[in-house]
Amino acid sequence: MSDSLAQLRSRINQFVKERDWDQFHSPKNLAMAMIVEAAELVEHFQWDTLEESRQLDETKREQVAHELADTFVYLLRIAEVTGIDLIEAANRKIDLNARKYPVEKAKGSNAKYTAYED
């Protein structure tokens, strides 16, 4: 885990501890809260065209940044309370996806991996 990610986790943990919020941070509650924040992120793009979603003005960019941050913080808290190393888990998942989506079959395609099975 990078120093900056470790520092952020430590800062979040301190924030939670100071407010005695651990009692509310079950994996279930945190997952639900993360989904709520992710839905709030989606709201910012809901009726945008593809091009509009790529060109955010400063106000909308800041709003999107807040929702991304909220989602990220909850994701980090879920990892914290479940004892999952996100960097390790992400690397394992990328390895798995590399097997599911071999370059020679998946390049330029958005088909699900089951479409590649013989």
**CATH code for the domain in which residue 34 is found:** 1.10.287.1080
Number of domains in the chain: 2
Containing structural domain, residue 74: 3-84
Same domain flag for 25 and 58:
yes
Same domain flag for 92 and 49:
no
Same domain flag for 57 and 77:
yes
**49-83 tens-digit pLDDT:** 999 999 999 999 999 999 999 999 999 999 999 99
Mean pLDDT of 94-107: 92
Same domain flag for 48 and 79:
yes
User: What's the pTM?
Assistant: 0.87
% of the chain residues with pLDDT over 70: 96
Tell me, letter by letter, the H, E, C secondary structure of the chain.
CCHHHHHHHHHHHHHHHHCCCHHHCCHHHHHHHHHHHHHHHHHCCCCCCHHHHHCCCHHHHHHHHHHHHHHHHHHHHHHHHHCCCHHHHHHHHHHHHHHHCCHHHHCCCCCCHHHHCC
Same domain flag for 12 and 52:
yes
**9-48 tens-digit pLDDT:** 999 999 999 999 999 999 999 999 999 999 999 999 999 9
